[in-house]
Amino acid sequence: MNQVIREEAASKDAVDAITAQWFAVRPDLDTAPMGVFGRIYRIARAMGDAMERVYNRYGISTGEFDVVATLRRSGAPYTLSPRQLSATLMLTTGGMTGRLDKLEKAGLLTRSPDPHDRRGLQVTITERGLALIDEAVGAGLEAQAAALKGFDAAEIDVLTGLLRKLLADVP
């Protein structure tokens, strides 16, 4: 029994310490939600930082990766309007313009007039952008897989399902 207690104590994390502190001063509160969301926040932040490091190796930020990746996964001819990109990435048009400027300057995409709308533009991934995003997405997935190395396939399926259910209930 002492071994179980030692293993449990060793598996405590910073979120457990925070919830224990709250329990000490406010035992009337149910801190279970804090335990869940505290961990989700910390995981998201740590993985966000890890992904930024991965994509920086390719000369792009996570936000810039999102733009090029959105074009790539849209399928050939890898072209969307700035408005479609903004809607997909939940960005303002101003925020999108800055990203497009940097990515165009880097030779990863081009902007051209929309042949179907005189006032519109089309954004298209370049061959260089296509090669870069294919490498970067692979490297990103390797980093994500490394973070999940302690889980087997069945556990990943369960975790995915639970997170999908949680996401559906979040306002």
Average pLDDT for the chain: 91
Q: Residue 7: is its pLDDT beyond 80?
A: no
pLDDT at 50: 97
Give me the mean pLDDT over the 43-62 stretch.
96
Does 55 map to a domain?
Answer: yes
Does 119 map to a domain?
Answer: yes
pLDDT at 3: 52
Does 36 map to a domain?
Answer: no
Q: Residue 81: is its pLDDT beyond 50?
A: yes
121: left (phi > 0), else alpha (psi -120 to 50), else beta? beta
pLDDT at 6: 46
Instruction: State the total domains in the chain.
Output: 1
Q: Match 């980093």 to its residue by tokens.
A: 143
Q: Residue 140: is its pLDDT beyond 70?
A: yes
Model confidence pLDDT, tens digit, residues 97-137? 899 999 999 999 999 998 888 888 999 999 999 999 999 99
Q: Which domain holds residue 62?
A: 42-147
Q: What is the C-alpha separation between 134 and 129, in angstroms, rounded?
A: 8
pLDDT at 8: 54
Give me the mean pLDDT over the 66-85 stretch.
94
Q: Residue 25: is its pLDDT beyond 90?
A: yes
Q: Residue 36: is its pLDDT beyond 60?
A: yes
Domain with residue 75: its CATH number is: 1.10.10.10
Does 60 map to a domain?
Answer: yes
Helix (H), strand (E), coil (C) string for the chain: CHHHHHHHHHCCCHHHHHHHHHHHHCCCCCCHHHHHHHHHHHHHHHHHHHHHHHHHCCCCCHHHHHHHHHHHHCCCCCEECHHHHHHHHCCCHHHHHHHHHHHHHCCCEEEEEECCEEEEEEEEECHHHHHHHHHHHHHHHHHHHHHCCCCCHHHHHHHHHHHHHHHHHCC
